[in-house]
Chains A and B, each alone.
Chain A
């Protein structure tokens, strides 16, 4: 499940009031989330959750569920 916190960060970067985001949602389904804004979203997520992603972790993200799991794992390590 996608946390409200992660969803909030994504929506803020993309300047959206509301959008349905689930585990299987891919970037192409969210308005404004294209390859050029992807870096912005990743940087904002890292900053908000105080985590750091590796290059290979970023390129292997397939959907928002993957991003949520990565945030969860990293937060546990750093928490």
Chain B
């Protein structure tokens, strides 16, 4: 790190001084001319918004949640919050299917845990959020609508002095941002990252991917997710290179938008969760690719979900005729707790792939095989980046040999300081400076392979979903025995991700009533913004209990999958 005491704001301003007219953020909206923020304009707008923030009473250290849709003025607002000494925390804008009460519960839970001080949002959410502020013991002091603020206000002498005083009295250990782990409505884990952690990480990670002045990042990733926020927002801002930001919702409706942006803007690097490879390879039609060139795309980094070999193959096959370089496909293993990346494959080198015996794998050994039909193709997530160390430990927390499956335990120079206001959760995962990831994998040579998770978290399209949230919601559905429902992830080969399946005990046995009940279950999922792919209805006392007396997700998943066949996709019932 060049200057260990450097603040992110100082770095952004230095970039603006060095190349004021260089594009910083290109804001894409389908069917419109992109809005192009230069580094100088971005800083100028951020300073202007800082004036409004200071006038609104925002103080150093205040946590400022931002809940906004894709908007060009989001970026200077985020920077302004930092300039005012406050801490930005981006939260997902509620999906229309999410029930307003559930949305409020989520915000309330976060505010109690993270101590949210202010909410910056759009006027449309005012009726949903206001009751929270009026509630007794609410930590939230106020609601602001920054899209109605001017971004060209002059910075008066007095206000500039306040900004300078803040920077002079602050060091790089000051928090730069607060991220929340994914989840649905349960309490999320708030990860606080310092200026130093983020800048240092950007430098180390930039080195691992050979980031240079000619790079242009293109991203549709949501900025409330670490991959979007760190890799596709903070890293380019630190390096002074452009990023093209697409609307997540537009991309998922029209996946070819990413390729249009790569082609038009000569983009060089993108990060994608595994499902995106399948979605783009399967759903983009050749007619939508007329005139598209992907030759500039030098790194497409698969991260946030287990990497699937077949997804890479079909992606290469589909886009090779459009100039895709197969060696541009890369992989990364990352998490919010270490700021972002832990391992990464080098540029222009395809990730190593091992064919591993499945039977041996289930016994905890990764034995490479060249014969037989029962094997799994494991894709490497690369080597540790600078500043990171990884150990693989068994259940007794002893190191295991290469090729043996264990939990990945990480030490990083860019490690978080613990979950904010959550010492008990911090103590579970952070021990003597090592982070216990809960992910299972093995080492082969210098490469790390991630193969699964210790916890029951379901990863759907890069989002972590906690089964408890689904089970709680479904237990309230009429016809289901309360507490007798389990939710788990089932491999969805078509999507290249997981889908959510549930097993629920019920007395309802007649087919028409069961149909109605299945629909009610899917609707209950919708109310917490979760799409349930499969519903298995089972008779009372069908579910196997764990030693703790609760229905076991793992045992019941195995039982139901064995009983019904794992490749079935339609809504089903058993028993």
Contacts and interface: CB of A to CB of B under 8 A. Distances in A.
Contacts of B254: 39, 55, 58-59
Nearest to B569: A15
A27 to B, nearest CB: 8
B253 A38 contact: yes
Interface stretch (B45-53, B124-132, B518-526): B518-526
Interface string A8-52: 000000011100000000101101101111111011000000001
B287 interface: yes
Contacts, number: 57
B96 A55 contact: no
B515 A55 contact: no
Interface string B1-41: 00000000000000000000000000000110000000000
B523 A59 contact: no
B253 A58 contact: yes
Contacts of A29: 97
B297 to A, nearest CB: 20
Contacts of B95: 28
Contacts of B400: none
Contacts of A39: 252-255, 279, 283
A28 B249 contact: no
A28 B97 contact: yes
A60 B96 CA distance: 16
Interface residues on A, range: 20 to 34
Contact of B523 (A31, A36, A40): A31
A16 B250 CA distance: 25
A76 interface: no
A35 B249 contact: yes
Contacts of B256: 55
Interface residues of B, number: 29
B495 interface: yes
A56 B288 CA distance: 13
A26 B380 CA distance: 42
Given A58-B253, A58-B254, A36 B522 contact: no
A59 B283 contact: no
A56 B283 contact: no
Contacts of B252: 35-36, 38-39
Contact of A35 (B30, B253, B288, B523): B253
Contact of A28 (B30, B253, B526, B571): B526
B495 A15 contact: no
B257 interface: yes
B461 A59 contact: no
B570 interface: yes
B296 interface: no
B279 A36 contact: yes
B325 interface: no
Name the 7 nearest CB pairs between A and B, nearest first.
Answer: A56-B31, A28-B97, A28-B96, A31-B522, A35-B252, A39-B283, A34-B531
16 contacts: A15-B570, A28-B97, A29-B97, A31-B519, A31-B522, A31-B526, A34-B97, A36-B252, A36-B461, A37-B531, A39-B279, A55-B31, A55-B254, A58-B254, A59-B250, A60-B31
Interface of A: 15-17, 26, 28-29, 31-32, 34-40, 42-43, 52, 55-56, 58-60
